[in-house]
A and B are shown apart, each in its own frame.
Chain A
Amino acid sequence: MSERKNDGFINYELQEFKLFEPLFKWARKKSLWIVAFCTGCGGIEMPPLATARYDFERFGIMPNPAPRMGDLFLITGYVTPKTLKRIIITYEMMQDPKYVMIHGSCPINGGVYWDSYNVVKQLDKYLPVDVAIAGCMPRAEAVMDGIMEIMRKIEDGTADGWKRYRENYEYYRKNQDELFGEGWREKDARRWLAWI
């Protein structure tokens, strides 16, 4: 029997759950609830995805307004330092397991705003990213393909961004503090999240 880590989090590797793990993985894959952070042109691709043409609800995917009940975090379009603060707080509010999918060139490397003073160039320095869809903008087919990819990864167990975030928290935290300055959670986040 493997040693159980007691790190204060719920441990999903518990022995008694191992039997049902394929079932859980299948269930997670088939019921992705989306927390959509649609900035810029990324939001335009969501209506065709949700409506009759590509109808993502047939895959059990549902747009969901609350981060506490979300599985899949969609970040579409450019990310500025101001919105990145909100993104990080929202990501940390989501429950494990959580997956991040990013759309378009802007979160990957800055896209057309690569020399802009207020667009974050590499989102995966600040958050773990599971699937990135390149393009400016990717069409709804490409987004659908990305969703298929993340479903496959969930079933494989390779969509492990939530684990990587926990394991490499110092790295992510260092990058976040470099960008925002130390103590940004206390200064800024407390203004909109009183309980932090």
Chain B
Amino acid sequence: MDMNEKPKVEEKVEEQKPQEVPEVEAPKLPDTKEGKLVAELLEKAPYAEGNVRRERRVEFKVPADRIKEFLELASEKFEMLIQISVVDWLKEGEFELVYQLWSVSESVHAFVRTRIPRENAKMPTVMDIWPVAETYEREAHEFFGIVFEGNPRLGPFILEPREHEKHPLRKDFNMIGYVKTIYGEDFDRYDESKTNYVI
């Protein structure tokens, strides 16, 4: 890539913006297997947004109320659920769920992103599409407190009961305060005045 190329592209976009708004919103999909895959899926599900990130990596954004519908459509091409990961956006007050799918037939990795409000977070389960989702949903439930409706085994999983109640991977979980109360304060590293700071 040429270093001088980047500013030119930005200028062009700025010039086009006032004239034609809709073209910027829908970027053209490349003429590759990933592009065709995304176009095919978006044709069936017009409520979603999709784009190709790079070779073998595609990305979708779906509104939370239609996620199940979308994943059912996607499961025709993407046979495997790799992971359900959760991102805690504290300032926005939202959880972002990322369903990571793998297409065995096409060798394409897909991120399906969706956002739900942080308070009383609820999602429909996708266990009936991929049975393996049970484990990932239990994990998300334990660490973030998201309730997956329809999953029969939500409950204590990996953590000790005391940790399990607190949802320790939430961003507003007071880690140092918790550590001090559980393990005691007799450590040099916790010294606030830093007279005995170790690290």
Contacts and interface: CB of A to CB of B under 8 A. Distances in A.
A121 B187 CA distance: 9
A179 B182 CA distance: 7
A117 B168 CA distance: 8
A121 B176 CA distance: 13
Interface stretch (A28-36, A62-70, A93-101, A108-116): A108-116
Given A117-B166, A117-B173, A121-B183, 20 more contacts: A81-B160, A82-B160, A109-B189, A114-B189, A115-B175, A115-B176, A115-B179, A117-B163, A117-B168, A117-B175, A117-B178, A118-B160, A118-B163, A118-B168, A120-B183, A121-B179, A121-B184, A121-B187, A122-B187, A125-B184
Q: How big is chain A's contact interface, by range?
A: 10 to 19
B61 to A, nearest CB: 32
B82 to A, nearest CB: 24
Contacts of B160: 81-82, 118
Interface-centre pick from B160, B168, B175, B182 (highest chain A CB count, 10 A): B160
Most chain B CB neighbours (cut-off 10 Å) among A110, A114, A125: A114
6 contacts: A114-B199, A116-B179, A118-B159, A118-B160, A118-B163, A125-B184
**Chain A interface, >50% SS class:** loop
Nearest to B186: A122
B183 A179 contact: yes
Contacts of B189: 109-110, 114
Contacts of A118: 159-160, 163, 168
Smallest CB-CB A-B distances: 4 pairs? A121-B183, A117-B168, A117-B178, A81-B160
A116 B163 CA distance: 11
